[in-house]
Structure 1
Amino acid sequence: MPITPHEASRATREIAALAPIIPVIVVKDASHARPMAEALVAGGLPALEVTLRTPAALDAIRAMADVPGGVVGAGTLVTAQDVRNAVAAGAKFGVSPGVTDELLAACEEEGLPLLAGAATATEAMRMLARGYDFLKFFPAEASGGAPALKAIGAPLPQIAFCPTGGVTPANAGEYLALSNVLCAGGSWVAPQQMVDEGRWDEIELLAREASKLERVRK
């Protein structure tokens, strides 16, 4: 069922409210997907972004879609075909590094709530004009980090963000303290070596620590 930009932003805002961190996941082996998702959800991070950067990504989304308590999304959406593939695999939301009219149209047509990337005030304003008021700030650290996002928020308080790209346990608190940040995206909660070795208990612990990060508005 098609979705409007306002409905899309409302849906992604609801997903952002689930936890302070959305794990950004790269899956190389689809057999790891379900136990990884179970560990992350058990640790208190139910919203999961699987990046479409590997051949196993769509199979991983299919496996994670059935995990109780989880909400799986597809990241690195670039084309309309990416959107269709993600929806067919069971993705409940999408995330993109940037945005094009083609990508927006595909997400709206397929009914996939999109967290679209923006790195400048101009990009954010263009998305706001279309009806999107919750965006991904990417690449966060390379674009100036928390100070830059705070500066963008001053003249555009009606737009909220999910910073992603270079967010770590050391700086996540700086982002989460901003009044225009609802959550942040991070890959540290599922390190590749831990995933490769099936160290799900340790991943659950990392998720539990991340889930306790405070969103203190300034």
Structure 2
Amino acid sequence: MSQDTKRLLAILTAQPVVPVVAVDSAAQGVLLARALIAGGIGSIEVTLRTPAGLEAIAAIAAEVPEMVCGAGTILTPKQFEQAEKAGAEFIVSPGATVEILDAARNSDVPLLPGSATPSEMMAMLQEGYEVLKFFPAEQVGGAALLKSIAPVIPQIKFCPTGGISMKNVGDYLKLPNVLCVGGSWLAPKDKVAAGDWDAISALAAEASGLRDAA
């Protein structure tokens, strides 16, 4: 098992849900991180879907050091490098390209590459990746697909993301090849925009207890 795999396992097994968020400012990212911490969630994936993504990662790393902050929606080696410089502790990509894999080889920050098909999973396994993002989870077969994959490619563990909510999260967490899930429902856009941090802390507290209920 590689050092990167060990680091990813430590991050992803620490909680049942990793919030996948997009923020409009660095300050908003810091407040959101603090609200999630208050609810018992200690890791976050800040996506680069907004211009504030990199600044938010840097601010969270500096001001909320107890939060393990990763960077998501990494599509290019340049974004990988930018996220690493901003202080991201892990990198998440919706898929995997030769260029992204090369960037990961030259970095100390672990990569969680995305996969959606058995062929992609096999290719990633050959590249030495035993922990993958399964994306977009619900749209490509959901928990049923992962259940069927478990006995065929048992070496790989997943963090499914995409279309997961409190309604179906239990279907994923009960699977032997699922470490955790990625979820945007912990940081609803309306709650974040309104600064309703108590509501977000409550959602985080509910999510942090899911492992016991699975």
Structure 1 position 13 matched with structure 2 position 9:
yes
Q: Indicate the residue corresponding to 1:61 in structure 2.
A: 57
Q: Indicate the residue corresponding to 2:46 in structure 1.
A: 50
- CA deviation string 1:35-81 (max 9, x = no partner): 10011112111110000111000011011113042100000011000
Letter in 2 for 1:164: T
8 A contact 2:25–2:55 mirrored in 1: no
TM value normalised by structure 1: 0.94
Q: Indicate the residue corresponding to 1:83 in structure 2.
A: 80
Q: How many residues align?
A: 213
Whole-angstrom CA distance in 2 between matches of 1:115 and 1:107: 10
Whole-angstrom CA distance in 2 between matches of 1:42 and 1:109: 35
Once the two structures are TM-superposed, the CA of residue 7 in structure 1 deviates from its matched residue by 2.0
Whole-angstrom CA distance in 2 between matches of 1:127 and 1:211: 29
Q: Indicate the residue corresponding to 2:211 in structure 1.
A: 214
Once the two structures are TM-superposed, the CA of residue 28 in structure 1 deviates from its matched residue by 1.6
TM value normalised by structure 2: 0.96
Once the two structures are TM-superposed, the CA of residue 30 in structure 1 deviates from its matched residue by 2.2
Equivalent in 158, 171, 175 of residue 174 of structure 1: 171
Q: Indicate the residue corresponding to 2:29 in structure 1.
A: 33
Structure 1 position 121 matched with structure 2 position 126:
no
8 A contact 1:119–1:140 mirrored in 2: yes
8 A contact 1:9–1:115 mirrored in 2: no
**Per the alignment, in what secondary structure is the counterpart of residue 154 of structure 2?**
coil
Whole-angstrom CA distance in 2 between matches of 1:124 and 1:203: 34
8 A contact 1:178–1:216 mirrored in 2: no
Whole-angstrom CA distance in 1 between matches of 2:117 and 2:213: 24
- CA deviation string 1:150-175 (max 9, x = no partner): 11112011110000000101100100
Answer with 187-196 or 24-33: which moved more: 24-33
Whole-angstrom CA distance in 2 between matches of 1:49 and 1:21: 11
State, as a whole percentage, how many aligned pairs show the same letter.
50
8 A contact 1:177–1:216 mirrored in 2: no
Q: Runs (4+) of structure 1 moved beyond 3 Å? A: none
Q: Indicate the residue corresponding to 2:185 in structure 1.
A: 188
Q: Indicate the residue corresponding to 1:133 in structure 2.
A: 130
